[in-house]
Each structure stands twice: as C-alpha cells, then as structure tokens.
Amino acid sequence: THVSQQAQQERQGEKGGVACGWSSQLGQQQELSAWAPCDQAEANQGDGRRTRAAGSKDRGAGHGVPSSAAVLAAASRRLHFVSGDASLANCDKGRKIIAHSCNDQGRWGKGFVMAISARWPQVAREYRDWHRTRKGFVSGAVQFCPTNNHLLTVANMIGQRGIKTGSKGPPVRYASIEEALMTVGARAANEGA
C-alpha cells in the first residue's frame, strides 16, 4: 500500500508522525480500502500512547481484546481486493462487511451510496435516522446495518467533515476513517467476516 502526501501530513499532524497507509481506487471500479500496519514493532503516538504493529503480542489492556495493530495484522492476511461493483461483495463465502465512508451532515445521495441504496434502501434510512437522533453520530463512529442477507452487514463510517472542498481542504478525514476502520476490523475479527 501507499500513503498519499495529504494523508501522511494529516496523520503526522494528528497522530505524532506515525505513518501507516491506505490505498483506494475510485471511479467506475470501486475497490475496498484498508489500512496497512506500520513496519515498526512499536511506535510512539506523540501523546504518550503506544501503538503496536504487526506481530506484536499486545492483546490490549489485559482484557483479552486484541490491539488495533493486531487486528490489522490479522486482517491484512485475509484482505481481498475486488474490482467491479463493491456492493456485490462476492469474493468468497462467509460473513462480509461492506464498509464505506459517510459525511457528518446526514447527506446520502451521490457516489457509492447509490449502489447501496439500490440494493438495501433500509441502510440509507438507518443512516438518516442516526443523523437525526445524533446518538453516537460523531466523526470516526460506525453504524452497522444488517441487510436482507444474514451474512452481509453494511458499515456506515463517519469519515468526512462536510461534503465539499473548502479552506480546510477536502472533506475526507483520514484519522476518522482510521478510527472507524479499527472498529470495523474488530467487529470483522469477532464475527469471522
């Protein structure tokens, strides 16, 4: 994977210089995105916290919960990239989670969400209801929406501030996407997705 300069700059500003990466292909072919683990065994986040990377033995706060880096390391071995319609999620059998980034304004109507709405209209309704009630609707949060296929869940990740490029740059917030992907990764690991 690779890190775009903008993503690296944002991550350095918010995360103390730890640069992990993600890659995404947009356009006619939608490709699932994933964070790649850092090469270091352990990296300082700049605020006193420590993050362990691939191969670490840390299970997280002594509660048997895997660290985010451990989840990423496990996921990176099972990650499949699929070209074509990502809403089909047909790379193999078993549970699946389709994760995508949403804005923080409750707007749903362009891009990949149109394919989601066409297949599962209830996912759009649940997202709008979540925005309206504001319960847990914050940057980096994730809403898991079951579909009519009991093996498939859609994860609405709040990873954008606004919907247009402005004085603060594009609406995407990489730190929020990273936080949301950690939540999705933990759930996927827990459910075997």
Q: Are 163 and 103 in contact (CB under 8 A)?
A: yes
Helices first, then strands: H and E counts in the chain? 5, 7
4 CB-near residues (< 8 Å, 6+ apart): none
pTM above 0.95, yes or no: no
**What does the alpha-carbon distance between residue 87 and residue 38 come to, in Å, rounded to a whole number?**
29
pLDDT at 90: 66
Superfamily grouping for domain 5-191:
Leucine Aminopeptidase, subunit E, domain 1 (3.40.220.10)
Q: Decide: 37 and 53 in contact? Cβ < 8 Å.
A: yes
Question: What residues does each domain of the chain span?
Answer: 5-191
pLDDT digit string (tens) for the chain, length 193 residues: 333 444 444 444 433 322 222 223 333 233 333 333 332 233 333 333 333 333 333 333 444 555 666 666 666 666 666 677 777 766 567 888 999 998 887 777 777 888 888 889 999 999 999 999 888 889 899 999 999 888 889 999 998 887 767 667 666 788 899 999 999 999 999 988 8
Helix axes 174-191, 68-78, angle to 10 degrees: 70
